[in-house]
Amino acid sequence: MSVFETEVASVVVDGRSLTVGALRSVAEHSTGVSLSGEAVSGARRGRRALEELLRANPVEGVTAFFDGTRLARVGAALECAYQTNLIRAHSTGVGPLFAGDETRAILTALLNSLAKGYSAVRPEVLERLAHYLNHGVTPAVPELGSLGAAGDMVPLAHIASTLIGEGQVVRDGRRMETSRLLGDLGVRPLRLRFKEGRALIGGVSAMTGLGSLIAARALDQVRQAEIAAAVLTGAVGGSAAPFRATGHDLARPHRGQIDTAANLRELLRDGSAALAGGGWPQPPEAYPLRAVPQVLGAVRHTLYQTVDTLETELNSASDDPLFFGGREVFHGANGQGQPVAFAMDFATIALVQLGTLAERQLDGVLTSGAAGGLSRFLLAADPVLHHGFAAARYPALALAAENRTIGPASTQSVATGDDRLGIASMGMVAVRNARRVLENNNRILAVLFLAAAQAVDLSRRFDELGPAAQAAYDAVRSLVPPLGVDRAMAGDIELMTTALSRGEVLRAVSRYAAVALR
């Protein structure tokens, strides 16, 4: 399943084939999950490998991957207590909770990583995580606290604590004690065995799950930015010549650039002859429109690479130690989140540029000669008494500037005070940075869509839009009326922002214009 397909009947979890699109379906649409037979048998094999190693040499088996001076004496009677204390000790997250769909994304990533079979957890652990996803059990997981050095230990501990009947869950938007909910559902807490606590908190499933959700939404944001550019191009009487296939497929064949140019051609298809013709492109001051394939295409390309990294990580075992049968044990640093941290930082840089381009397009239609003869600030009333969109651009300017203050997180390693964790990836910070820019961009794009629709109203170039851009215009106007005399526009911007965050413009183009964007 591709990243763009987000609704499916069910998702089979096997530890090897989970896609970003499938994860998004589980997270956003509560699609059910089922464990493959291979995942269950693989978990049994991994668990058996661990237990055979411990029986063969208990001291070696423990000291191979824990502090032997302290734990070599831990026997079977105390192993459950140690696993429980490990989870309790790392339940130190602070700040707001992840949203329900974000927590489901993390749960899905955790389940798939453990289902790979190398983490030596019993099938019962996998089944409990799948039960959570299929029955709407949502752990209360604070956003702040992960370093990504030896896994997302803090947020994952808050999930693991619910498996043993501790911590809190969210039900109907309110926090409640896990023990109460499990009692209501008739579910008994798990008693974790040796290594299972470490497996549950030692991977990078929190940054990977949330990062996957953000990457999928970011690609939708690129498509909506392409739609806004198409509406604006039609509104100002621009040319489609800069989007011809020859300039991209043949001359500069970056995958993202090719796809964005193809989308623009599709969005402008069946518009006016000027749009379809091969005349001279827009004047130089319209550069932010002519350069859409090159800029948004590069954003796309970056997000494609981000998805590739995330899908590799989704189908990886990232805790330590790992068991491969017999006496082969891998103990390294797979819980180091650097690959995800780098990928999400790169995605953040690309999304910052998406917001910058949208702000520049907005500036062009409001203040420069690229507006096709439209009034300055898209005024529809007496310019002596009214201001039009003059101040509506301020939040777009402020948010574009704020985006540029959000720097890379993956270079911000901190000392943990633990010699075993000498370098931290800060992967979750990188993911949260990307989410923050994504949210800022929705507001910038909201103002751009409102301005583009206003430009259509003032220019009366409805015939130059084509069916797809017309569907986008209609979607905007179904939410917000044209601006005649001055009114408070904060509510308009927030309404449009919500619509964009839900993908409503994208769905309108698909539904009413039968356009399937890349």
**Domains annotated on the chain, with CATH:** 10-203 (1.10.275.10), 211-513 (1.20.200.10)
The C-alpha atoms of residue 18 and residue 22 are separated, in whole angstroms, by: 6
Question: pLDDT tens digit string along 80-92?
Answer: 788 899 999 999 9
Paired with 56 in beta bridges are none
Residue 371 pLDDT: 53
Q: Name the residue with tokens 């696993």.
A: 83
Helix (H, G, I), strand (E, B) or coil at 430: helix
Residues in the chain, pLDDT under 70? 1-8, 57-78, 272-285, 369-372, 415-421
The C-alpha atoms of residue 228 and residue 98 are separated, in whole angstroms, by: 30
Residue 2 pLDDT: 42
Residue 77 pLDDT: 53
Angle 253-444-29 from CA coordinates, rounded to 5°: 80
> CA 127, 130, 136, 137: dihedral to nearest 10 degrees?
50
The C-alpha atoms of residue 517 and residue 423 are separated, in whole angstroms, by: 41
The C-alpha atoms of residue 15 and residue 430 are separated, in whole angstroms, by: 25
449 and 505 in contact (C-beta within 8 Å)? yes
29 and 45 in contact (C-beta within 8 Å)? no
Q: Which helix (H) or strand (E) holds 138?
A: strand 138-139
Residue 422 pLDDT: 72
Helix (H, G, I), strand (E, B) or coil at 171: strand
Residue 417 pLDDT: 59
pTM over 0.85: yes
Question: Which long-range contacts does 249-252 make (Cβ < 8 Å, 24+ apart)?
Answer: 252/294
Q: Which helix (H) or strand (E) holds 168?
A: strand 168-171
Query: Within 10 A of 436 (CB to CB), how many other CB atoms are there?
Result: 16
Q: Name the residue with tokens 């763009």.
A: 4
74 and 339 in contact (C-beta within 8 Å)? no
